[in-house]
Structure 1
Amino acid sequence: MSHTQTDLYEQLTSSERLFEGKVINLRRDEVILPNGRTGMREVVEHPGAVAIVPVTTDGGIILVRQFRHPIGQIILEVPAGKLDPGEDPADCAERELAEETGFMANKLRKLTSMYTTPGFSNEIIHIYLAEDLVESDKQPDEDEFIHTEVFTPEQIREMIASGELCDAKSLVALCLAGI
Protein backbone atom coordinates (compact mmCIF):
# COMPACT_ATOMS: atom_id res chain seq x y z
CA MET A 1 0.00 0.00 0.00
CA SER A 2 1.43 3.34 -1.04
CA HIS A 3 0.95 6.47 1.06
CA THR A 4 1.70 10.13 0.58
CA GLN A 5 2.77 12.36 3.43
CA THR A 6 -0.44 14.35 3.16
CA ASP A 7 -2.35 11.40 4.61
CA LEU A 8 -0.48 11.91 7.90
CA TYR A 9 -1.38 15.55 8.67
CA GLU A 10 -3.69 16.57 11.47
CA GLN A 11 -5.77 19.71 11.00
CA LEU A 12 -6.00 22.04 14.01
CA THR A 13 -9.57 23.06 14.80
CA SER A 14 -9.13 24.75 18.20
CA SER A 15 -6.52 25.45 20.85
CA GLU A 16 -6.82 26.27 24.55
CA ARG A 17 -4.03 27.55 26.84
CA LEU A 18 -4.16 25.51 30.06
CA PHE A 19 -1.09 26.85 31.84
CA GLU A 20 1.43 29.64 31.37
CA GLY A 21 4.69 29.34 33.28
CA LYS A 22 8.20 30.77 33.46
CA VAL A 23 9.79 27.99 31.40
CA ILE A 24 6.90 26.22 29.69
CA ASN A 25 3.30 26.69 28.63
CA LEU A 26 0.72 23.95 28.21
CA ARG A 27 -2.06 23.94 25.65
CA ARG A 28 -4.71 21.48 24.51
CA ASP A 29 -5.40 21.27 20.78
CA GLU A 30 -8.38 19.71 19.08
CA VAL A 31 -7.45 18.23 15.71
CA ILE A 32 -9.07 16.38 12.86
CA LEU A 33 -7.11 13.16 12.39
CA PRO A 34 -6.21 11.79 8.95
CA ASN A 35 -9.15 9.34 9.21
CA GLY A 36 -11.59 12.23 9.78
CA ARG A 37 -12.15 11.63 13.48
CA THR A 38 -11.51 14.24 16.15
CA GLY A 39 -8.56 13.93 18.53
CA MET A 40 -7.08 15.89 21.43
CA ARG A 41 -3.38 16.76 21.76
CA GLU A 42 -1.71 18.19 24.85
CA VAL A 43 1.33 20.25 23.88
CA VAL A 44 4.12 21.56 26.09
CA GLU A 45 5.35 24.80 24.52
CA HIS A 46 9.02 25.64 25.10
CA PRO A 47 10.99 28.61 23.72
CA GLY A 48 13.90 26.42 22.60
CA ALA A 49 17.38 25.95 23.95
CA VAL A 50 21.02 25.44 23.10
CA ALA A 51 23.56 22.82 24.15
CA ILE A 52 27.29 23.33 23.80
CA VAL A 53 30.22 20.90 23.68
CA PRO A 54 33.19 22.97 24.91
CA VAL A 55 36.56 21.50 23.96
CA THR A 56 39.69 22.76 25.73
CA THR A 57 42.99 23.32 23.91
CA ASP A 58 44.29 19.98 25.21
CA GLY A 59 41.17 18.09 24.04
CA GLY A 60 39.29 18.00 27.33
CA ILE A 61 35.52 18.33 27.38
CA ILE A 62 33.88 20.67 29.91
CA LEU A 63 30.72 19.30 31.49
CA VAL A 64 28.48 20.75 34.18
CA ARG A 65 27.19 18.88 37.20
CA GLN A 66 23.89 20.08 38.63
CA PHE A 67 20.81 18.98 40.49
CA ARG A 68 17.77 18.46 38.27
CA HIS A 69 14.60 18.73 40.32
CA PRO A 70 12.24 16.83 37.93
CA ILE A 71 14.35 13.66 38.28
CA GLY A 72 15.61 14.34 41.79
CA GLN A 73 19.24 13.71 40.84
CA ILE A 74 22.56 15.44 40.33
CA ILE A 75 23.65 14.71 36.77
CA LEU A 76 26.41 15.56 34.31
CA GLU A 77 25.47 17.50 31.19
CA VAL A 78 26.98 19.62 28.48
CA PRO A 79 26.43 23.33 29.19
CA ALA A 80 22.98 24.34 27.98
CA GLY A 81 20.28 26.91 28.41
CA LYS A 82 16.99 28.35 27.28
CA LEU A 83 16.63 30.86 24.48
CA ASP A 84 15.41 34.31 25.44
CA PRO A 85 12.53 35.67 23.29
CA GLY A 86 13.87 36.56 19.83
CA GLU A 87 17.42 35.50 20.72
CA ASP A 88 19.64 34.06 18.03
CA PRO A 89 20.70 30.51 19.01
CA ALA A 90 24.42 31.24 18.41
CA ASP A 91 24.21 34.28 20.71
CA CYS A 92 22.46 32.14 23.31
CA ALA A 93 25.20 29.49 23.01
CA GLU A 94 27.89 32.11 23.61
CA ARG A 95 25.98 33.53 26.60
CA GLU A 96 25.31 30.15 28.19
CA LEU A 97 28.89 28.97 27.68
CA ALA A 98 30.22 32.04 29.51
CA GLU A 99 27.59 31.90 32.26
CA GLU A 100 28.03 28.23 33.03
CA THR A 101 31.74 27.59 32.38
CA GLY A 102 33.54 30.94 32.50
CA PHE A 103 34.81 30.50 28.93
CA MET A 104 34.14 32.11 25.57
CA ALA A 105 34.71 30.35 22.25
CA ASN A 106 36.70 31.92 19.44
CA LYS A 107 35.33 29.12 17.26
CA LEU A 108 31.64 28.17 17.55
CA ARG A 109 30.17 25.74 15.03
CA LYS A 110 26.57 24.58 14.84
CA LEU A 111 26.30 20.80 14.70
CA THR A 112 22.52 20.38 14.36
CA SER A 113 19.12 21.26 15.72
CA MET A 114 16.84 18.58 17.18
CA TYR A 115 13.40 18.23 18.68
CA THR A 116 13.70 16.69 22.14
CA THR A 117 10.26 15.09 22.52
CA PRO A 118 8.06 15.83 19.49
CA GLY A 119 5.31 13.55 20.76
CA PHE A 120 4.23 16.20 23.27
CA SER A 121 6.52 19.24 23.05
CA ASN A 122 7.77 21.72 20.48
CA GLU A 123 11.12 22.16 22.28
CA ILE A 124 14.03 22.41 19.87
CA ILE A 125 17.67 22.34 20.95
CA HIS A 126 20.41 23.85 18.81
CA ILE A 127 23.69 22.01 19.39
CA TYR A 128 27.07 23.71 19.06
CA LEU A 129 30.74 22.75 19.22
CA ALA A 130 32.85 25.37 21.02
CA GLU A 131 36.60 25.39 20.44
CA ASP A 132 39.54 27.75 20.93
CA LEU A 133 38.25 28.70 24.39
CA VAL A 134 39.38 31.77 26.31
CA GLU A 135 38.56 32.56 29.93
CA SER A 136 35.75 34.98 30.74
CA ASP A 137 33.55 35.71 33.74
CA LYS A 138 31.49 32.79 35.04
CA GLN A 139 28.09 34.21 35.97
CA PRO A 140 25.46 31.53 36.48
CA ASP A 141 21.83 32.54 36.81
CA GLU A 142 20.70 33.36 40.37
CA ASP A 143 18.76 30.09 40.66
CA GLU A 144 21.47 27.96 39.03
CA PHE A 145 24.02 26.08 41.14
CA ILE A 146 26.52 24.16 39.02
CA HIS A 147 30.02 22.73 39.13
CA THR A 148 32.15 22.51 36.01
CA GLU A 149 34.49 19.60 35.41
CA VAL A 150 36.84 18.69 32.57
CA PHE A 151 36.94 15.13 31.25
CA THR A 152 38.94 13.31 28.60
CA PRO A 153 37.02 11.80 25.70
CA GLU A 154 37.84 8.33 27.10
CA GLN A 155 36.38 9.24 30.50
CA ILE A 156 33.23 10.49 28.79
CA ARG A 157 32.87 7.28 26.77
CA GLU A 158 33.24 5.29 30.01
CA MET A 159 30.60 7.42 31.76
CA ILE A 160 28.23 6.92 28.84
CA ALA A 161 28.78 3.15 28.87
CA SER A 162 28.22 2.95 32.63
CA GLY A 163 25.07 5.09 32.52
CA GLU A 164 26.60 7.84 34.67
CA LEU A 165 26.21 10.30 31.80
CA CYS A 166 22.56 9.82 30.84
CA ASP A 167 21.20 13.20 29.67
CA ALA A 168 19.78 12.83 26.15
CA LYS A 169 20.84 16.21 24.74
CA SER A 170 24.36 15.65 26.07
CA LEU A 171 24.58 12.17 24.53
CA VAL A 172 23.50 13.51 21.13
CA ALA A 173 25.81 16.53 21.37
CA LEU A 174 28.84 14.47 22.40
CA CYS A 175 28.16 11.91 19.66
CA LEU A 176 27.91 14.63 17.01
CA ALA A 177 31.14 16.18 18.31
CA GLY A 178 32.87 12.86 17.68
CA ILE A 179 33.51 12.03 21.34
Structure 2
Amino acid sequence: MSSNKPYSNPALEETTISTNSIFTGKIISLQVDTVRLPNGSTGTREVVRHPGAVAVLAIHNGKMLVVDQYRQPLGRCEVEIPAGKLEAGEDPMEAAARELREETGYTAKSLKPLQSFYTSPGFADEIIHLYVADELEAGEMTPDDDEFLELSELTLEEAYAWIREGRISDAKTIMAVYAWHLQQLTGNF
Protein backbone atom coordinates (compact mmCIF):
# COMPACT_ATOMS: atom_id res chain seq x y z
CA MET A 1 0.00 0.00 0.00
CA SER A 2 1.31 3.44 -0.79
CA SER A 3 2.59 5.65 1.99
CA ASN A 4 0.20 8.07 3.69
CA LYS A 5 3.05 10.58 4.06
CA PRO A 6 1.99 13.56 1.97
CA TYR A 7 4.29 14.77 -0.76
CA SER A 8 5.03 18.49 -0.67
CA ASN A 9 6.70 21.01 -2.96
CA PRO A 10 6.58 24.40 -1.20
CA ALA A 11 7.24 26.28 -4.46
CA LEU A 12 3.91 25.04 -5.84
CA GLU A 13 1.67 25.08 -2.77
CA GLU A 14 -1.56 27.05 -2.67
CA THR A 15 -3.04 28.52 0.52
CA THR A 16 -6.80 28.40 1.09
CA ILE A 17 -8.19 31.86 1.82
CA SER A 18 -11.86 30.90 2.07
CA THR A 19 -14.24 28.00 1.43
CA ASN A 20 -17.83 28.25 0.21
CA SER A 21 -19.86 25.06 0.75
CA ILE A 22 -22.16 24.55 -2.27
CA PHE A 23 -23.72 21.12 -1.71
CA THR A 24 -23.64 18.30 0.85
CA GLY A 25 -25.11 14.98 -0.20
CA LYS A 26 -25.21 11.36 0.89
CA ILE A 27 -21.88 10.50 -0.80
CA ILE A 28 -20.14 13.72 -1.81
CA SER A 29 -19.94 17.39 -0.98
CA LEU A 30 -18.94 20.25 -3.25
CA GLN A 31 -17.11 23.38 -2.22
CA VAL A 32 -15.49 26.32 -3.96
CA ASP A 33 -12.20 27.43 -2.44
CA THR A 34 -10.52 30.78 -3.00
CA VAL A 35 -6.77 30.18 -2.92
CA ARG A 36 -3.58 32.19 -2.92
CA LEU A 37 -1.43 30.97 -5.80
CA PRO A 38 2.37 30.60 -5.66
CA ASN A 39 2.81 33.92 -7.51
CA GLY A 40 0.69 35.79 -4.93
CA SER A 41 -2.45 36.17 -7.03
CA THR A 42 -5.75 34.44 -6.19
CA GLY A 43 -7.75 31.74 -7.93
CA THR A 44 -10.73 29.49 -7.36
CA ARG A 45 -10.83 25.73 -7.03
CA GLU A 46 -13.96 23.59 -7.25
CA VAL A 47 -13.47 20.65 -4.88
CA VAL A 48 -15.49 17.45 -4.52
CA ARG A 49 -15.07 15.84 -1.09
CA HIS A 50 -15.56 12.08 -0.87
CA PRO A 51 -15.13 9.75 2.15
CA GLY A 52 -12.90 7.35 0.21
CA ALA A 53 -13.55 3.90 -1.16
CA VAL A 54 -12.23 0.37 -1.39
CA ALA A 55 -11.93 -2.07 -4.27
CA VAL A 56 -11.07 -5.76 -4.38
CA LEU A 57 -9.17 -7.78 -6.96
CA ALA A 58 -10.59 -11.22 -6.23
CA ILE A 59 -9.29 -14.21 -8.18
CA HIS A 60 -11.20 -17.49 -7.87
CA ASN A 61 -10.05 -20.59 -9.77
CA GLY A 62 -7.95 -18.45 -12.09
CA LYS A 63 -10.74 -15.99 -12.86
CA MET A 64 -11.37 -12.43 -11.69
CA LEU A 65 -14.70 -11.69 -10.01
CA VAL A 66 -16.53 -8.70 -11.50
CA VAL A 67 -19.98 -7.22 -11.19
CA ASP A 68 -22.07 -5.57 -13.88
CA GLN A 69 -24.28 -2.70 -12.81
CA TYR A 70 -25.99 0.35 -14.24
CA ARG A 71 -24.08 3.59 -13.63
CA GLN A 72 -26.33 6.66 -13.82
CA PRO A 73 -23.52 9.19 -14.48
CA LEU A 74 -22.51 7.16 -17.56
CA GLY A 75 -26.06 6.33 -18.64
CA ARG A 76 -25.10 2.68 -19.14
CA CYS A 77 -23.89 -0.49 -17.47
CA GLU A 78 -20.27 -0.90 -16.41
CA VAL A 79 -18.37 -4.05 -15.44
CA GLU A 80 -16.25 -3.44 -12.34
CA ILE A 81 -14.38 -5.22 -9.58
CA PRO A 82 -16.25 -5.27 -6.24
CA ALA A 83 -15.98 -1.84 -4.62
CA GLY A 84 -17.73 0.66 -2.42
CA LYS A 85 -17.39 3.74 -0.31
CA LEU A 86 -15.96 3.84 3.18
CA GLU A 87 -18.35 4.51 6.03
CA ALA A 88 -17.30 7.13 8.60
CA GLY A 89 -14.42 5.75 10.68
CA GLU A 90 -14.45 2.39 8.88
CA ASP A 91 -11.18 0.51 8.48
CA PRO A 92 -10.47 0.11 4.73
CA MET A 93 -9.57 -3.58 5.03
CA GLU A 94 -12.83 -4.30 6.85
CA ALA A 95 -14.71 -2.32 4.20
CA ALA A 96 -13.01 -4.34 1.44
CA ALA A 97 -14.11 -7.59 3.10
CA ARG A 98 -17.65 -6.22 3.47
CA GLU A 99 -17.89 -5.09 -0.16
CA LEU A 100 -16.53 -8.41 -1.45
CA ARG A 101 -19.10 -10.32 0.60
CA GLU A 102 -22.04 -8.02 -0.25
CA GLU A 103 -21.38 -7.74 -3.98
CA THR A 104 -20.14 -11.26 -4.78
CA GLY A 105 -21.10 -13.47 -1.84
CA TYR A 106 -17.45 -14.51 -1.47
CA THR A 107 -15.33 -14.22 1.64
CA ALA A 108 -11.53 -14.23 1.63
CA LYS A 109 -9.20 -15.90 4.11
CA SER A 110 -6.88 -12.96 3.58
CA LEU A 111 -6.90 -9.50 2.04
CA LYS A 112 -3.61 -7.93 1.03
CA PRO A 113 -3.26 -4.18 0.42
CA LEU A 114 -2.10 -3.57 -3.15
CA GLN A 115 -2.20 0.20 -3.72
CA SER A 116 -4.05 3.35 -2.72
CA PHE A 117 -4.67 5.97 -5.38
CA TYR A 118 -6.59 9.19 -6.00
CA THR A 119 -9.26 9.00 -8.69
CA SER A 120 -9.26 12.60 -9.97
CA PRO A 121 -6.93 14.84 -7.92
CA GLY A 122 -7.63 17.86 -10.12
CA PHE A 123 -11.04 18.30 -8.50
CA ALA A 124 -11.71 15.50 -5.97
CA ASP A 125 -10.08 14.09 -2.84
CA GLU A 126 -11.50 10.56 -3.33
CA ILE A 127 -8.93 7.87 -2.54
CA ILE A 128 -9.44 4.20 -3.38
CA HIS A 129 -7.70 1.48 -1.39
CA LEU A 130 -7.19 -1.55 -3.65
CA TYR A 131 -6.85 -4.99 -2.07
CA VAL A 132 -6.13 -8.50 -3.38
CA ALA A 133 -8.37 -11.24 -1.99
CA ASP A 134 -6.91 -14.69 -1.45
CA GLU A 135 -8.41 -18.12 -0.76
CA LEU A 136 -12.02 -17.33 -1.58
CA GLU A 137 -15.04 -19.17 -0.29
CA ALA A 138 -18.44 -18.84 -1.99
CA GLY A 139 -21.49 -17.58 -0.15
CA GLU A 140 -24.61 -15.53 -0.83
CA MET A 141 -24.64 -12.02 -2.31
CA THR A 142 -26.23 -9.35 -0.10
CA PRO A 143 -26.10 -6.10 -2.11
CA ASP A 144 -27.48 -2.82 -0.79
CA ASP A 145 -31.24 -2.28 -1.30
CA ASP A 146 -30.63 0.10 -4.23
CA GLU A 147 -27.86 -2.00 -5.79
CA PHE A 148 -28.64 -4.40 -8.65
CA LEU A 149 -25.67 -6.52 -9.76
CA GLU A 150 -24.79 -9.46 -11.97
CA LEU A 151 -21.69 -11.43 -10.97
CA SER A 152 -19.27 -12.79 -13.58
CA GLU A 153 -15.89 -14.48 -13.55
CA LEU A 154 -13.36 -13.52 -16.23
CA THR A 155 -10.07 -14.95 -17.37
CA LEU A 156 -7.29 -12.43 -17.93
CA GLU A 157 -7.81 -12.72 -21.69
CA GLU A 158 -11.55 -12.09 -21.30
CA ALA A 159 -10.85 -9.08 -19.07
CA TYR A 160 -8.60 -7.56 -21.75
CA ALA A 161 -11.26 -8.26 -24.39
CA TRP A 162 -13.90 -6.52 -22.27
CA ILE A 163 -11.56 -3.53 -21.87
CA ARG A 164 -11.17 -3.36 -25.66
CA GLU A 165 -14.97 -3.64 -26.10
CA GLY A 166 -15.60 -0.87 -23.54
CA ARG A 167 -17.53 -3.11 -21.14
CA ILE A 168 -14.75 -2.43 -18.62
CA SER A 169 -13.70 1.21 -18.71
CA ASP A 170 -13.33 2.41 -15.15
CA ALA A 171 -9.84 3.11 -13.81
CA LYS A 172 -9.90 0.89 -10.71
CA THR A 173 -10.89 -2.20 -12.69
CA ILE A 174 -8.38 -1.54 -15.46
CA MET A 175 -5.69 -1.02 -12.79
CA ALA A 176 -6.70 -4.33 -11.17
CA VAL A 177 -6.46 -6.15 -14.52
CA TYR A 178 -2.98 -4.71 -15.10
CA ALA A 179 -1.92 -5.67 -11.57
CA TRP A 180 -3.21 -9.22 -12.13
CA HIS A 181 -1.33 -9.43 -15.43
CA LEU A 182 1.86 -8.17 -13.77
CA GLN A 183 1.42 -10.74 -10.99
CA GLN A 184 1.21 -13.50 -13.58
CA LEU A 185 4.47 -12.27 -15.14
CA THR A 186 6.38 -11.78 -11.87
CA GLY A 187 4.72 -14.29 -9.55
CA ASN A 188 3.81 -11.81 -6.80
CA PHE A 189 1.67 -8.82 -5.99
TM-score range, shorter chain: over 0.9
* 1:87 aligned counterpart, secondary structure: coil
Identity percentage of aligned residues: 45
Deviation at 1:82, TM superposition (A): 0.3
Return the alpha-carbon distance in structure 1 between the equivalents of residues 179 and 89 of structure 2.
Answer: 26
Deviation at 1:62, TM superposition (A): 0.7
Which range is displaced more, 86-95 or 136-145? 136-145
**Count of equivalent residues:** 175
Residue 176 of structure 2 aligns to which amino acid in structure 1? A
Q: TM-score, normalised by structure 2?
A: 0.89
Deviation at 1:132, TM superposition (A): 0.5
Residue 46 of structure 1 aligns to which amino acid in structure 2? H
Deviation at 1:131, TM superposition (A): 1.6
C-alpha distance after superposition, 1:38-79 (max 9, x if no partner): 1111100000001111100x2111100000000100110011
CA contact (8 A) 2:107 2:138 kept: yes
Map of 1:34 onto structure 2? 38
Map of 2:178 onto structure 1? 175
The two structures, once aligned, show a CA RMSD in angstroms of: 1.3
Q: TM-score, normalised by structure 1?
A: 0.94
Alignment partner of 2:133 out of 127, 130, 134: 130
Q: Does 1:62 align with 2:100?
A: no
Return the alpha-carbon distance in structure 1 between the equivalents of residues 167 and 142 of structure 2.
Answer: 26
Map of 1:82 onto structure 2? 85
Return the alpha-carbon distance in structure 2 between the equivalents of residues 12 and 160 of structure 1.
Answer: 40
CA contact (8 A) 2:156 2:177 kept: no
Map of 2:146 onto structure 1? 143
C-alpha distance after superposition, 1:14-36 (max 9, x if no partner): 11211000010001111100010
Return the alpha-carbon distance in structure 2 between the equivalents of residues 84 and 26 of structure 1.
Answer: 18
